Chain A
Amino acid sequence: MGRHEKIAWYNLAVIGTSVLFFLVSFFVMKDRHSLESSFEVSSSAFAVLAFLGFGQTLFRKEDAGKRRSGFYDPELDERDVQIRQRAALHSFAIFWVLFVLAIMGFWMFFRWRHGTEGPLMITFNVNLLPLLTVPGFLIIMSVHAISTIIQQRDNIKDNNGVQGVFVSNLRSMILSMFFLPIFLLMSFFIAMQGEIFFAFQFAALSFGAFAMAVREIRRKQEYLEDERLVYGVKLLGRISNIVFTLMYGGLIVKFILDYSKFGLFKFPTLFILLFIALIFYRTVIADLRHYLRERRHEKA
């Protein structure tokens, strides 16, 4: 087991311990005290996270320093750097998805519980606000550690040159495919609560994110061996591009209509229309032209 894998395991253990302490303390306290004070007191368990800082020292290379060959003993070589970068990418991507799901989940929960009529005000202790950063930190650190362990253990199986990048993108797409129905389901719930415009915007963003994932795959599609899979990916990319463009086009038209009510229709609108045309060209027309060119090549 390499040094970085050991550090990742250590980080996971520290995070697990702090979460465990928090949960045990919270559930023991909540029967005797209010939820708020139980939460506040139990959150002291996150002090255990301070141990994260010792990982680098505990697993320091004993023979660190200049070697006989003249090279410095690498604390972090090029492969470690690559693994670390990808782990960071994974952790922030997962954090963003979970953050959106949590925010929308809370919003939907309160709307469902208190009805959709009028603004809904909630009050909470402002001292809890800094504590909200803790879950974000925990998610990022945990995903980073898990991703590092998987990549180090795998001997980065999916890092086999360009083909490896493809496998990694395929995984991203599968992940996106998993999240797309969840986001669309949320859009449906939002729409059911009468927030049609908001639901539409949320669904458009979901398709946008999905289209980006598919586009990544399309860039590497020459490494796919199965012809049917190649055409499947192409078709998926084309459909998601078109859906995203049409949905966002619709949103921008609504924006222009709203804007025009204030008599500010002229110059900004021109720019916006140009922007729509550009997006439409980049995502739909260019895509179709590329497709037709490919067909011509195939026939030739």
Chain B
Amino acid sequence: MKKPEIKNTIRRYRFDHDEMTQEELAELVGVSRQTIIALEAGKYVPSLGLAFRIARVFGAKVEDVFEYNAD
């Protein structure tokens, strides 16, 4: 059975970006820290707009930060 999942590398990107805190990222993309926690834990799938905003903060493409896993 297929089990689609959207994984992300937000945590790695944060550390690569001068160990940015969750609070700082939340502030930059306009959400609460709880939402960043849920995103990093893979327990919340963001809207397309939020995914683009996060990628833009890290200067990366959306597909680099978020990965669709269809296996």
Contact = CB atoms under 8 A, between A and B. Distances in A.
A225 B2 CA distance: 8
Contact of B5 (A74, A77, A157, A161): A161
A252 B30 CA distance: 54
Interface string B1-30: 111111000000000000000000001111
B3 A157 contact: no
A78 B6 contact: no
Contacts of B31: 74, 77-79
A162 interface: yes
B3 A223 contact: yes
A78 B50 contact: yes
A162 B30 contact: no
Interface in A193-243: 222-225, 230
B1 A223 contact: yes
Interface residues of A, number: 29
A224 B1 CA distance: 7
A71 interface: yes
Interface in A1-56: 2-3
B interface majority secondary structure: loop
A156 B44 contact: yes
A2 to B, nearest CB: 4
Interface string A68-84: 11011110011110000
B37 A77 contact: no
A146 B1 CA distance: 33
Contacts of A3: 32
A68 B5 CA distance: 33
A157 B43 contact: yes
A154 B1 CA distance: 26
Interface residues of B, number: 25
A155 B38 contact: yes
Interface in B31-68: 31-35, 37-38, 41-47, 50
Contacts of B28: 69, 71
A162 B4 contact: yes
A69 B30 CA distance: 8
Given A67-B27, A68-B27, A78-B50, A152 B1 contact: no
Given A77-B30, A78-B35, A79-B35, A160 B43 contact: yes
Contacts of A152: 34
Nearest to A61: B32
B59 to A, nearest CB: 15
A78 B46 contact: yes
Nearest to A69: B28
Contact of A155 (B6, B43, B50): B43
B57 to A, nearest CB: 9
Interface string A149-186: 00010111101111110000000000000000000000
Given A152-B34, A163-B5, A223-B2, 6 more contacts: A67-B27, A72-B30, A79-B35, A154-B43, A155-B43, A160-B43
Interface of B: 1-6, 27-35, 37-38, 41-47, 50
Interface of A: 2-3, 67-69, 71-74, 77-80, 152, 154-157, 159-164, 222-225, 230
7 closest Cβ pairs, A-B complex: A71-B30, A77-B31, A2-B34, A155-B38, A155-B43, A79-B35, A161-B45
